[in-house]
Structure 1
């Protein structure tokens, strides 16, 4: 029997779509490890994964994106599941390395992780600007991109859901969601230790122990660390991260189950860098300069006269305590999910002697979710619930220079920063959100079900702070800024599911999602608004999920059309004191349509092929940035390649004595795309291929494995992001270079 890793599909397809291509049906997880359905009716967001492909066909996987456990082939949404085994085989231990693993999902690792799904995403680190793709850990929403875990360990899987998830996941999921599901304690003893080593001085460790404390209580403790040298010639792009997690599962009574989790992660690195003059750059300083993707910025963080002499760091600490409490009410399951998180983040980036950026944040998040859901096997499937969240943060966002007037500055609780010429201090930012939601699936006749759901949300944001500009002298001129925004929104989903045949299901629905508005940091009484409105995505989606040939062939597809309104973008305002501040405006509009197809074919129990194709047409209908004099109406959206394609093959060699070797390789193609919202010439990444391979030997008793991996075999320096106007030349950041390594894992 061959074990095949799920979720290793990238995307591929055709450049331009017209209306007919919008109905192309797209897959949702043809590439997943098998997982047994959780028992009972609890909508368990941490259900454990189990085996994979069987001798008689492809295995199954259970997902929980709909806040209940369901077979992925019965989930009427487009979703890809990436298993822990996939990540281990490929040497993946941070989210930025997931690039290319799911169709139409783009990752931009930088000083924070930016994510785009089907062209929906945004670039912003400001506290009043939310992200367009929701990140969740064990079903709990993460309020800031800074809070996204910097190290992946002891996971069961990652679920990448495409399309708005506004009914069940709420605000800020207009593009989709990324859900991290950590491994759950079991009532059996288990232990594991893994050590990896590779180029760039990579040393990574991971360990876990699961013990049964009594007949009804189990404890799982895990930890990991990862260090490697910088990917860039100047030493930047390094990694130095570690994390710990403890999970306690208690069956308090036959009806009551409690799962408690405590987690800590930290990161302490030099941080990212940029390389000058990506292909196509038109800056005068780039004339005759060859693009060296892994060179980095010369003199970064040194006394070099061409740069700012400041320590370069990327540092954060994240703490989390949360729980999931399930109670069996006979007719339904009651679930309570309390959560508290705290983070302390600081970054210092230098682009040139003219500009550096040093953000810092201290953030606390408290949330509660209470929901009631139908039991497994109920003829009518439903879930209803209440949500409350409160975020409180303080921040400082400083711009640096060594050319002109600057000062040394800090705020209580933050590190001192030199070379500051513009400072934005946020003394108090509070975000409260509360909502009521529900969704139901009702059978009308045999095989045909109507689906309907809705969510009503109330949001309130309050911001007070100061912005200041350093004038010659140097003299700091400051002005108070702030505002309050209140928002009420209703999102909905309506559609149907139809069982066309025994293992063929079709579905179609209309759904909406919104990204919350926010508060502009402008002085009271300004000529511009102190608030900006939300974004709204109305999505029309239709798909099919199917299996044939005795469960050996799986074909999933989905087509979609998005009407995206209220698109938020940046503008500028100059106060009466002569301070230019950034703000956000709406009135923007975009349109996306396309489709995805994923397929898996188990040719023999030892040979598996996987492929996926993604087609995307994503353009701004209206996109104007007044302060920058930028009008991109009718232009392509960033991070939205017209087509992507992935093909992978895996073979299992059955060894004498019962051991086996699994060999896997894949190729991934992406067509032309811009990686900067301004669509600057140097931000156009032309179509490119990337290839990966891995090899794993498993001992006959399964107690130990040896593996090797190589990613980006051709050392392709494809752009992941680019930025101009911050110095004499445009700057770009590539995806990681060729990396390779080996690992040894022992289980006890």
Structure 2
């Protein structure tokens, strides 16, 4: 494995800077007893193990530690967990080691899976859980294809709920903060008898949006209500049943964003020579640029946006999850566990997922109707011990999932001068240019000066797609660890997965002939030229703004979300089966204690792992061309690590270094369909690589002081990434290959670091715990196409989010009887402005839409236990 000097130097400097050589890569939140780090148990290998003896890069955070850091949602985990990047801008995005999923649509599976009490959550918009009643969360980094299955190429987040207690009791916690934040969280244990225990927990959190839009909306708001009911039945000494029901309700506004023009040569800026509604001078078209700049940070000022009335920023979703776990220890060495899960979620639309970035209703991408998500999972696990020296875990997994969404992409009627129109028409297959030339000649002769404004649906006026997916997954897995000696173990495992996806797609495009008839009938100044392209000549001047007139005619006739009549439906059905085997092998060596005797090191484990993962292939709508297939992506990971406890177990240092190879990586790109319409879709990059390293340190320099430090460095590169030149496709229908292998990976930073310092003061007035956290993210590339990359070479701000450091401060007080605690907190102490998304497109729409993260927030908390 080749880890470059840029990666190794910070690791070496950190190791030298801390007395003694230690390791901490898997645990950032352990408690202390008499200055020592307690043992932490994880289930990264489907069995309970000491984290320091588990050859997996895993971070385990207890519920108490989450509260000490003020972490209220999964999104905030990325502040302190190495290689973890979580954005919640225009869509939820979870990335680990640069691997994640960028788009929010139903057809896309996540690359990082999330589990709640063993139940798989298959959709990204249900994965960013609040940390309500969480006993622990484990972040597994790297592909988990053997024990956890498909769509774990980046890793997994495993949430475990606090189980019902055997005695009555609970807590209530409330918080008030700026932006009118109000939070209430409570839990109550209600044992029924000595064998049956129940627990009820509720959480409500509301906060006004801090991004003020010119329309009066307040975006980036929070409004969540959730409740969990749990039951635990000790049916016998050997049988335990755990069940839960989760209800969630979200009524929030997504973040709004700002806009900046990336490239004048982009197709929709000046690249096609087209004019937009509002343009009145063909020699100086400016409406498109003006629209973007009307929503720039420079024009709007701090925390203000201008996205217009057509935006739908609502994030409205209801969710139900049910889980039942049956655990049977049928003899001393063997047990069986079954996990049954059900999830039903409805996302209420309309919701705008993308546009060109300004207040005018130009380029639109909307989810319409209600999106349905329903899944049923079943997992059967066998685990235990064979021959006194082999631990094993094996089982089967089955999932049945249904998803649906209605998606609309639309563009306005645009315009062009006759010569520019000839260029546009030449790129459309099936048009007779000689006939068009004759028509133009006859029409322009009617107007003094020999020219005439032309309007047309040069880009798709409306494309409405109803999409349904049925997916069935079956997998069988097995993994065994052979303890060859007391200090050396070898692990082998594999998983076979078979997934069948059946998709139904109904596509309806705008009826352009009817559009032509409607516009020409409403205003006789519009003369049809090419009805099948909704092309009309306007017998007037550009100064009269014929484009606004034509589009207003359609909006008055079709006032809803779809401003055009729709033609006949095209139906596509397709079923594909994807199969994959993902093996793994790992070796671990624990250095004998007698070899460490007398040194500063208490324990050391060294491990090496080879593992594989894959992300399922899928079918996706591709404009008017219907369904296309994207092949599965495959990942091979090679990893080495060391885990050390030192200084009488007051210091822990964990290091992991890895090299990963991708085949057929899923990437979001912009292309054109057979109708020369721009389509945002997926393709498989030929090959790519990731090399990196992670460091986690926990140190108690004294009985009352704790220091956490994490660092990660991930170096990404495409070994092969061929794309098509978008302008050649759009203008001439020619496929001109371009090499994009020199570009950076998008969305995930190369370097992250975090430092947390906490001190405990015991006084006669109670215990005071001040804490300070700092988190660093390097700059992040947010480009989508080659044009964004080219523009960023001239001006990095056209496609990058700047590097930033966030500081959080917190002071808590706990009374002598431990039942009452108070806390005051400030997040983003310096009120830093930083970006958490979204996308820069330099070839097509030519804009960079950027989303701000939370400004300074502060508040107080009160918690009472009973």
- TM-score normalised by the chain length of structure 2: 0.75
Contact 1:616 1:640 in 2 (8 A): no
In the TM superposition, residue 632 of structure 1 has moved relative to its aligned partner by: 2.5
Shift in Å, 1:669: 1.9
Question: Aligned equivalents of 2:320 and 2:301: distance in 1?
Answer: 35
Structure 1 position 737 matched with structure 2 position 842: no
1:296 positional shift: 4.7
> CA distance change for structure 1 residues 423 and 15 in 2, over 3 Å: closer, same or farther?
farther
2:144 match: secondary structure? coil
* Residue among 822, 834, 837 paired with 1:721: 837
Counterpart Cα distance in 1 of 2:262 and 2:681:
31
Structure 2 distance, partners of 1:119, 1:342, is 30
Q: Which has the larger radius of gyration?
A: 2
Structure 1 residue 295, shift from structure 2 partner: 3.0
1:436 is aligned to 2:476: yes
**Equivalent residue for 1:383, pick from 377, 393, 399:** 393
- The verdict on how the C-alpha distance between 1:421 and 1:318 changes in structure 2, with shifts beyond 3 A counting, is farther
Which of 652, 656, 664 is residue 771 of structure 2 equivalent to?
664
On the 8 A contact 1:569/1:625 being kept in 2, the answer is no
Tell me, what secondary structure is at the counterpart of 2:65? helix
Q: Tell me how far 1:122 sits from its aligned partner.
A: 2.2
Within the candidate set 598, 618, 623, 1:518 is matched to 618
CA contact (8 A) 2:261 2:847 kept: no
Give the drift of 1:523: 9.1
Q: Is the Cα–Cα contact under 8 Å of residues 623 and 677 in structure 2 kept in the other structure?
A: no
- Does 119-128 or 647-656 show the bigger shift? 119-128
Partner of 1:297: 305
After superposition, residues 1-20 of structure 1 pair within 5 angstroms as 16-17=6-7
Aligned-residue offset at 1:311? 5.0
The worse-fitting range, judged by mean Cα deviation, of 473-482 and 593-602 is: 473-482
Task: Measure how far apart 1:677 and its partner are.
Answer: 4.2
What are the superposed Cα offsets for residues 120-176 of structure 1, whole Å, 9 maximum, x if unpaired?
112122333211111111122111112225533111122111100000000000011
Structure with more relative contact order (C-alpha pairs < 8 Å, separation 6 or more): 1
Deviation at 1:461, TM superposition (A): 0.5
Secondary structure at 1:520's aligned position in 2? strand
Deviations 1:491-511 (A, max 9, x none): 011020100144211100100
Counting only pairs closer than 5 Å after superposition, residues 358-369 of structure 1 correspond to structure 2 as 358-359=366-367, 360-369=370-379
- Aligned partner of residue 591 in structure 2, secondary structure: strand
Q: Give 1:36's aligned residue.
A: none
Residue 504, structure 1, aligned to residue 611, structure 2: no
- Counterpart CA distance in 1 for 2:582 and 2:314 is 41
Question: Matches of 2:829 and 2:66 in 1, distance apart?
Answer: 17
Match of 1:476, SS state, is coil
**Does the 8 A contact of 1:89 with 1:707 survive in 2?**
no
Over 3 Å counting, the alpha-carbon distance change for 1:15 and 1:109 in structure 2 is farther
Contact between 2:407 and 2:465, CA under 8 Å: does it hold in 1?
Answer: yes
Distance, in Å, in 2 between the alignment partners of 1:62 and 1:597 is: 20
User: Closer, same or farther in 2 for the Cα pair 1:580/1:637, shift >3 Å?
Assistant: closer
Distance 1:182 1:357, change over 3 A: farther
Two-structure CA RMSD over aligned residues (Å):
3.1
Distance 2:263 2:628 in 1: 38
Match of 2:754 in 1: 646
Match of 2:91 in 1: 112
Q: Whole-Å Cα distance in 1 between the matches of residues 315 and 749 of structure 2? A: 30
Deviation (angstroms), 1:715:
1.5
Match of 1:238 in 2: 221
Gaps of at least 5 residues in structure 2 are 16-21, 270-288, 416-459, 516-563, 594-602, 728-737, 793-797
**Which structure is higher in helix share?**
2
Equivalence for 2:114: 135
Q: 217-226 or 89-98: which moved more? A: 89-98
- Where does 1:148-227 land on structure 2 (aligned, <5 Å)? 148-227=127-206
Structure 2 CA distance for aligned equivalents of residues 668 and 280 of structure 1: 33
Aligned equivalents of 1:589, 1:534: Cα separation in 2: 13
- Which range moved further: 345-354 or 322-331? 345-354
Q: TM-score, normalised by structure 1?
A: 0.86
Shift of 1:219: 0.2
Choose 485-494 or 733-742, whichever is displaced more: 733-742
Q: Which residue of 1 aligns with 2:570?
A: 479
The answer to whether the 8 Å contact 1:275/1:295 transfers is no
1:329 maps to 2:427: no
1:638, 1:84 → 2: CA distance? 32
User: In the alignment, which of 585, 606, 625 is matched to residue 683 of structure 2?
Assistant: 585
Q: 1:294: how far off?
A: 5.4
Secondary structure, counterpart of 1:329 in structure 2: strand
